[in-house]
């Protein structure tokens, strides 16, 4: 079907029968039955979450600590790597777990997963658990292969279901997943199994890995026809769609919320998405390695951590846990016994807060996500500079009528290269005053001794994992251990 601008914005009145069918959510009981039959962990986790979400931070922590103790004991007894590591740091001695020694456990890195792979796999799993392989997207380096089990997956599904419910979409209501990277498309996001799952979940899938104008219009058309209760989107894909909607002042179906994942959502992106869809932009955090970790509620004071299933730490410059400051995340998913990850340096940055959310839920919060570790640039004084500042340059100095797209790269010798795509019809001479502003903003933090070079490109392609690489550090000490 040829889609045009005018087609996209013809509003469709819903027939009374269609409207009644929409309000009858027959999928919710069907899905609950399917969960009970296929993966009882989903139903059990949903019940657990329900019983603790309005309790107290202490109650939630007690559940977490009990699960952590089980995980450490299992890792000690069933994996060669952790038997050695947990014994030597004292976290488990002769089968007795000492949770006070948890922060003495050495961090797990991608390099360790690669080199110690077989020694990290559990020899035996508790009854009812079955293992399967998965691998990370490898957006900033080599993909990592690892093992997960069905209980972990059940917990991930339950946590995600709960997070979606907190932002206005209950189980079985319509959701549109606008996602995609090359690997997902190749490996079967659109396969038969995924299609059945989508039907059951009442989910429509739209790929956003490749976004020419025609694809953007198809997505908008699909949103207007399907009228989902929630959009669940890959940040960079929906960012492109939202920009198009705003530039053309289009009216699009407004869902209850737009849930964003795949990468850190910065304020300027959230603003554009909220303007386009007239709905709250919700930041959700998770990954293939650790599952559904945290999600904002409608208060958006922070991301509620799924503490019953994860320990989330932020690690300061001296490698000890910190609070209330931006730092590198270390995550322990508590429910994967197939290949335990303990204090895993995932390569993301965030800020933990002791403040509780105004919504009254007992789950503690990540105040914010602050990009990837490999997005932290270094100046000649050895200072590490937060990606937020460079994202601000991107939003305030580059996204304008002259400079269409940008990318800031720190080369191995410390110099900065700014890749730029000019708006159609804009010459380099006309762009010069904007370049000067970008240069001034950069040397303010990088120092006047930092060379800044501009490269003009036809386009800045997405990475293989479908992400827009706004900031890139070519090489660093931190990325060698954690990316
Ligand atoms: Zn809340």
C-alpha dihedral, 34 to 40 to 44 to 45, nearest 10°? -80
Q: Determine the pLDDT at residue 192.
A: 77
- Span from the CA of 166 to the centroid of ligand 1 (angstroms): 8
Residue 304 alpha carbon to ligand 1 centre in Å? 6
Whether pLDDT at 353 is above 70: yes
Ordered DSSP codes for 150-172: HHHHHHHHHHHHHHHHHTT--TT
CA of 359 to the centre of ligand 1 (A): 4
* pLDDT of residue 138 exceeding 60: no
324 dihedral zone (left: phi>0; alpha: psi -120 to 50; beta):
left
Give the Å distance between the CA of 284 and the centre of ligand 1.
Answer: 13
- Summarize pLDDT for 242-292 with one digit per residue, the tens: 999 999 999 999 999 999 998 888 888 899 999 999 999 999 999 999 999
Q: What is the band of 394 on the pLDDT scale with cuts at 50, 70, 90?
A: confident
Asked if the model's pLDDT at residue 139 lies above 70, the reply is no
Q: State the pLDDT at residue 184.
A: 58
- Band of the pLDDT at 157, cuts 50, 70, 90? very high
Q: What is the pLDDT of residue 22?
A: 55
User: CA–CA separation, 160 vs 42, rounded Å?
Assistant: 10
Please give the distance, rounded to the nearest whole angstrom, from the Cα atom of residue 193 to the centre of ligand 1: 34
CATH no. for 376-482: 3.30.300.30
**What DSSP string runs through 98-163?**
-GGGGGGSPPB-HHHHHHSHHHHS-S---TT--EEEEE---TTSS--EEEEEHHHHHHHHHHHHHH
CB neighbourhood size of 26 (10 A):
10
Burial (CB < 10 A; 0-12, 13-18, 19+), residue 196, is exposed
Percent of residues, the chain, with pLDDT higher than 70: 89
Q: What is the pLDDT of residues 408-461, one digit of tens each?
A: 999 988 899 999 999 889 999 999 999 999 999 999 999 999 999 999 999 887
Q: What is the mean pLDDT of residues 56-78?
A: 97
**pLDDT higher than 80, residue 183:** no
Fold of 5-56+149-373: Rossmann fold (3.40.50)
Crossing angle of helices 27-38 and 192-201, rounded to 10° = 130
Centroid of ligand 1 to alpha carbon of 106 (angstroms): 32
Q: How far is CA 42 from CA 31, 74, 160, 339, in A?
A: 10, 21, 10, 20
Is residue 142 over pLDDT 80?
A: no
CA distance linking residue 206 with residue 188, whole number of Å: 13
Residues 269, 245 contacting (CB under 8 angstroms): no
Q: Which residues contact 336 (CB under 8 A, 6 or more apart)?
A: 148, 149, 151, 152, 291
Higher-confidence residue of 376 and 192: namely 376
* Total-model pTM: 0.85
Q: What is the mean pLDDT of residues 456-471?
A: 80
Q: What is the mean pLDDT of residues 394-419?
A: 88
Domain ranges, ordered by start, for the chain: 5-56+149-373, 376-482
For residue 10, name the pLDDT band (cuts at 50, 70, 90): very low
> What is the whole-number distance in angstroms between the Cα of residue 29 and the centre of ligand 1?
26
Q: Hey, is 440 helix, strand or coil?
A: helix
Residue 8: pLDDT band (50, 70, 90) is very low
């Amino acid at each position: 079907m040829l889609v045009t601008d005018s087609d996209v914005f013809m509003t469709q009145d819903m027939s009374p029968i269609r409207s009644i069918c929409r309000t009858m959510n027959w999928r919710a009981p069907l899905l609950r039955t399917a969960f009970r039959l296929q993966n009882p962990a989903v139903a059990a986790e949903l019940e657990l979450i329900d019983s603790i979400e309005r309790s107290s931070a202490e109650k939630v922590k007690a559940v977490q600590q009990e699960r952590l103790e089980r995980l450490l004991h299992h890792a000690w007894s069933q994996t060669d790597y952790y038997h050695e590591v947990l014994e030597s740091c004292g976290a488990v001695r002769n089968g007795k777990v000492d949770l006070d020694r948890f922060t003495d456990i050495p961090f797990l890195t991608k390099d360790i997963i690669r080199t110690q792979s077989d020694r990290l796999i559990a020899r035996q799993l508790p009854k009812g658990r079955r293992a399967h392989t998965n691998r990370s997207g490898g957006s900033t380096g080599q993909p990592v292969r690892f093992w997960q089990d069905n209980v972990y997956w059940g917990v991930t599904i339950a946590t995600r279901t709960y997070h979606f419910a907190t932002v206005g979409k209950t189980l079985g209501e319509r959701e549109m997943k606008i996602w995609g990277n090359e690997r997902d498309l190749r490996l079967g996001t659109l396969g038969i199994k995924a299609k059945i799952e989508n039907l059951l979940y009442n989910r429509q899938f739209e790929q956003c890995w490749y976004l020419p104008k025609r694809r953007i219009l198809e997505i908008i058309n699909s949103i207007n026809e399907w009228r989902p209760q929630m959009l669940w989107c890959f940040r960079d894909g929906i960012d492109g769609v939202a920009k198009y909607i705003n530039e053309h002042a289009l009216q699009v179906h407004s869902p209850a919320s737009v849930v964003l994942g795949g990468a850190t959502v910065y304020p300027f992106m959230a603003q554009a998405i909220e303007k386009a869809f007239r709905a709250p932009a919700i930041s959700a955090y998770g990954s293939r390695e650790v599952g559904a970790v945290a999600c904002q509620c409608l208060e958006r004071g922070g991301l509620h951590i799924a503490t019953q299933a994860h320990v989330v730490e932020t690690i300061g410059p001296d490698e000890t846990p910190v609070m209330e400051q931006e730092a590198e995340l270390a995550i322990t998913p508590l429910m994967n016994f197939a290949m335990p990850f303990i204090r895993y340096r995932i390569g993301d940055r965030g800020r933990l807060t002791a403040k509780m959310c105004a919504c009254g839920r007992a789950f503690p919060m990540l105040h914010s996500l602050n990009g990837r570790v490999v997005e932290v640039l270094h100046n000649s004084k050895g200072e590490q500079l937060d990606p937020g500042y460079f994202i601000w340059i991107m939003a305030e100095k580059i996204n304008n009528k002259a400079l269409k797209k940008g990318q800031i790269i720190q080369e191995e010798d410390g110099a900065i290269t700014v890749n730029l795509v000019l708006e159609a019809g804009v010459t380099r001479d006309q762009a010069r005053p904007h370049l000067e502003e970008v240069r001034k903003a950069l040397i303010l933090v990088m120092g006047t001794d930092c060379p800044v070079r501009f490269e003009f490109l036809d386009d800045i392609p997405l990475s293989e994992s479908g992400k827009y690489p706004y900031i890139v550090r070519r090489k660093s000490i931190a990325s060698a251990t954690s990316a």
